[in-house]
Structures are given as C-alpha cells and as structure tokens.
Amino acid sequence: MKYTDRPRWKDLIAAIIAAPADDLPRLVAADWLDSVGEYGRAEFIRIQCELVAHEATKKTGQHHNGPDRARKSLVEQAALLMPAGSPKDTYRRGFVCEVHCKLDECMGGPCSSCGGSGIIHNDMHYAKHYSSETCITCKGTGGQRGIGPNFVREQPIERITITDREPYVPVRFGPWYWYNGQLGETPNIHPQSDLPPELVWWDRNYASPPLETRKQAESALSDRLLAWAKSQPVRR
C-alpha cells in the first residue's frame, strides 16, 4: 500500500491543513514517513521547513550579508529530494502550496471524450448502421471531474493559479474583472449568461469590493476557487 493511501497519512495531512502556518504537524508527518521507510520524502519536508525558517531569520537581519551558502545548500538538497509529480506544482515547507492548472482541470467541465454530450457516435464506414452509445469515460454524464475538491484535502494548498483564463480590465486603470472567456479571446462584456453555475467568477453586481489590480484579481479568483473546492463533497 502506498503511504499516501494509509489512514494515518490522511490524519497527518488533515492536521497540516488545519494549521497551515505551523511547522510542527509537518515535522510529525516527516517522523511518521521515516517509520514507514519513506526517508527521502521525510527529509524533503525537514529541509524545506528549515529553508523557510532560514529565510525568515535572514529577513530579521540575524545573518551577515554575503554569499548565503546555507541557503544554497538547502535549495540544492531540496531539489534532489523533490517528490515526483507535476513540475508546475509548487512545494513549500514540504508540501504543495500552489497549483497551476486549467479551469476545467480544477473545477471539472465537459468530458474530453464525448465533448459533453455523454454519447459516442459510431460512424465507422463499415458499420451496417450508424449507432451511438453511452460514453464510457463520463458514464453518460457529459462531464469530467475537477481535481480541485480532492486536491485541497490532499495538500495544504494556499493558492490556485488558473492558466487558461485572464482577468479583464475594462478601462485602463481598473477595476479588474473575471469573465468566463478563453485566454486571448475578446473579453465578453456581457458575461451573465456565461457565468458558470458555481459562481466562482467575480460577479459584476458590485456586491464585492472592486479589484484594483491584476494581483488582487488573481488572488480573488484563487480564494474563490479554494472556497469552492473545500465546499465540495469528497469524491473517491
């Protein structure tokens, strides 16, 4: 059994997610990883925690200026022990803190096998009759699951960055909005009909504080997606 499937690991992760700023639950998880023989994974957590602690000490001026050999060494050790997985996942203090993905990957969207119809049309020329059958990928639902709801329970994610959407600024100096368009597309300035039912997009009814900068817009979307993912039921 993979360590990530063990009940104890799930408890350890839940403790880390409950106290994301605290190193202690992470170091407890590292000790447990040692006990099941996952030495590299354990050491990676310790080194990355040490790295962040080292940087914090440096900020408060307790180190002299000059080449930071300790930091360089920690970064190099961490790189060697980096867990396998998507290189776009950003690890901090031993766990994924940021994920980069497309919106459909995060939230789910139309099934990529059947395009959302739930039906596969068999139009092979040698078939006696054209026929259609239920799509086996999505079992006829037409949708695919997003990774968001499970991922926020598997890692202490603090940030979701969506790679195929961009915020839109209608006038030169803001405020910024999100619209449900593709990257590079002409912004849809009448987006109501395009709002997905999950309503993660920043709404335009001015009920929310305006987003003054692109950075604020990106953080707002990340916060909405995190809240949405955490509100979803666990699916196995």
Residues near Zn ion (CB under 5 A) are: 111, 113-114, 135, 137-138
What one-character DSSP code corresponds to residue 184?
T
* 187 vs 82: CA distance, rounded Å: 39
Where on the phi/psi map is residue 124: left (φ > 0), alpha (ψ -120 to 50), or beta? Answer: beta
Contact 162, 101 (CB under 8 A): yes
Nearer Cβ to Zn ion (135/211): 135
- Polymer length of the chain: 236
Take residue 195 and report the two structure tokens written for it: 């709002």
DSSP state of 133: E
* Of residues 13 and 120, the one with the C-beta less far from Zn ion: 120
Minimum distance, C-beta of residue 118 to Zn ion, in the bound complex (Å): 6
- Report, in Å, the least distance between residue 138 CB and Zn ion: 3
Residue closer to Zn ion by CB (options 42, 107) is 107
- The one-character DSSP state at 80 is H
Choice between 135 and 229, CB closer to Zn ion: 135
Least Å distance, CB 122 to Zn ion, is 14
Least distance (Å) between residue 181 CB and Zn ion:
24
Question: Helix, strand, or coil here: 101?
Answer: strand
Is the distance from CB of 78 to CB of 47 less than 8 angstroms?
yes
User: Residue 31: which H helix or E strand, with range?
Assistant: helix 24-35
Q: Of the two residues 78 and 111, which places its CB atom closer to Zn ion in the complex?
A: 111
Beta bridge partners of 211: 176
Min separation Cβ 235 and Zn ion, Å: 17
Nearer to Zn ion, 47 or 135 (CB): 135
CA distance 74 to 82: 12
Smallest gap from residue 133 Cβ to Zn ion (A): 11
Separation between Cα atoms, residue 164 and residue 3, nearest integer Å: 33
